[in-house]
């Protein structure tokens, strides 16, 4: 993981790079900002830069032994601490879930919490960092390093430590060892114990803007149209941007579903509506919610197109073609109802309601709303 692999936040990168270059590295730092913007990637890029034996042009080399160990997640001196869902009394440490964690860093580099819960098989429970972990950190910090490198503790979501664990960690931070560095990565720094916070150098990350995300996606081989769509959907969350792209073009799938469903609802085709509810229900909760988010965005885009108060350029050619005929049906008479019903369906799905029933009911509401907005009525 190199700085070059991260997206956006050049100021944060400069600050981290300067710490290493000037050899003024704080014993503890906190990288904070909203979820899904690449904080863990930056923490790992920093760690690689710190321990790289062949830094080049302000970045790690990516090929020296230290860089390779960090990339492969098997560096004996890099310790990852993260919230877990303990399955047994004997399994209270991050290291007991190391395989799941490696998979997480590989599959979900923008750190989706639902994905982590799924890997832990934790259902809807809230993973935590337990007090045993703080003891393990203290023990590992006291040991000498196994390589010549800095020993680094990367703590994901320190806000999920209970008070007992946090107080023990504080003791470690109060008596820092040389060549040992703590890098915490937090979505909600306001929930961290103030005494811990006060010992950490703060690095704030901000969501990258739409253009930055779009350019980064194009540089990664995404087509211009898809990159723009994903960047628009993401609103600064790289996690959402990559989810929108999906691995098989989720946006295209949602787009055809949106168009088919709207046509069927306008035609009052209840058979097609029933089929929609069954097919969509099979997508699973997370994906249904993303699909409904897409529907809501298309409703807004078509309303704006109809009112001619905006520009069409956030729609791709397929969406624009559809909008040319469809937009007149989204107007002041029904836009609120459409957005409310979409929101309601999404919230019901999030609450684990029967997806088929929710989606069929949603389809019936679409029928009513589209006819309410019929400009030829
Ligand atoms: Zn290197």
pTM: 0.72
pLDDT of residue 249: 64
Decide: 338 and 366 in contact? Cβ < 8 Å: yes
Averaged pLDDT, groups of 10, the chain, 377 residues long: 93 97 96 96 97 94 89 91 84 91 90 89 84 93 83 96 92 90 97 94 96 90 86 90 74 88 96 96 89 91 79 69 91 94 95 95 97 85
pLDDT of residue 56: 92
Task: For the domain made up of 3-206, give the CATH fold.
Answer: Rossmann fold (3.40.50)
Distance from Cα 45 to the centre of ligand 1, integer Å: 11
pLDDT of residue 314: 66
pLDDT of residue 18: 97
Q: Which residues surround ligand 1, an ion (CB under 5 A)?
A: 52, 54, 60-61, 64, 67
Q: How far is CA 343 from the centre of its chain?
A: 21
Distance from Cα 68 to the centre of ligand 1, integer Å: 7
361's enclosing H/E stretch is: helix 355-372
Distance from Cα 69 to the centre of ligand 1, integer Å: 10
Distance from Cα 72 to the centre of ligand 1, integer Å: 13
Distance from Cα 58 to the centre of ligand 1, integer Å: 11
In our burial notation (b when 16+ CB lie closer than 10 A, e otherwise), range 261-291 reads bbebbbeebeebbebbbeebbebeeebbbbb
Distance from Cα 2 to the centre of ligand 1, integer Å: 9
Segments making up each domain of the chain, as ranges: 3-206, 246-372
Distance from Cα 47 to the centre of ligand 1, integer Å: 10
């Amino acid at each position: 993981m190199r700085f070059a692999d991260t997206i956006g936040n050049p100021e944060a990168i400069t600050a981290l790079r300067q710490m290493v270059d000037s050899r003024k590295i704080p014993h503890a730092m906190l990288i904070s900002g909203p979820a899904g913007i690449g904080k863990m990637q930056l923490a790992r890029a920093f760690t690689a830069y710190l321990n790289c034996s062949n830094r080049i042009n302000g970045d790690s080399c990516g090929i020296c032994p230290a860089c390779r160990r960090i990339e492969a997640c098997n560096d004996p001196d890099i310790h990852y601490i993260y919230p877990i869902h303990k399955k047994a009394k004997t399994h209270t440490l991050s290291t007991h879930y190391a395989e799941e964690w490696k998979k997480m860093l590989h599959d979900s580099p923008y750190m989706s919490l639902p994905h982590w819960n799924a890997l832990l098989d934790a259902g809807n429970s809230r993973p935590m960092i337990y007090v045993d972990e703080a003891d393990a950190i203290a023990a590992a910090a006291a040991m000498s390093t196994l390589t010549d490198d800095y020993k680094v503790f990367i703590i994901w979501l320190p806000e999920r430590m209970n008070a007992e664990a946090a107080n023990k960690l504080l003791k470690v931070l109060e008596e820092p060892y040389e060549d040992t560095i703590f890098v915490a990565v937090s979505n909600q720094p306001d929930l961290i114990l103030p005494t811990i916070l006060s010992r950490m150098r703060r690095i704030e990350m901000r969501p990258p803007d739409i253009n930055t995300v779009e350019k980064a996606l194009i540089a990664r081989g995404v087509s211009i149209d898809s990159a723009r769509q994903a960047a628009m959907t993401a609103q600064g969350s790289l996690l959402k941007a990559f989810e929108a792209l999906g691995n098989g073009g989720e946006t295209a799938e949602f787009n055809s579903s949106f168009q088919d469903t709207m046509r069927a609802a306008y035609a009052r085709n209840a058979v097609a509506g029933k089929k929609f509810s069954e097919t969509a229900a099979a997508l699973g909760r997370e994906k249904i919610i993303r699909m409904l988010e897409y529907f809501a965005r298309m409703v807004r885009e078509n309303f704006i197109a109809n009112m001619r108060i905006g520009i069409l350029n956030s729609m791709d050619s397929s969406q624009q073609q559809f909008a040319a005929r469809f937009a007149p049906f989204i107007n002041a008479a029904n836009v609120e109802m459409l957005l409310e019903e979409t929101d309601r369906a999404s919230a019901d799905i999030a609450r684990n309601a029967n997806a088929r029933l929710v989606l069929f009911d949603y389809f019936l509401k679409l029928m009513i709303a589209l006819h309410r907005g019929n400009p030829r009525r």
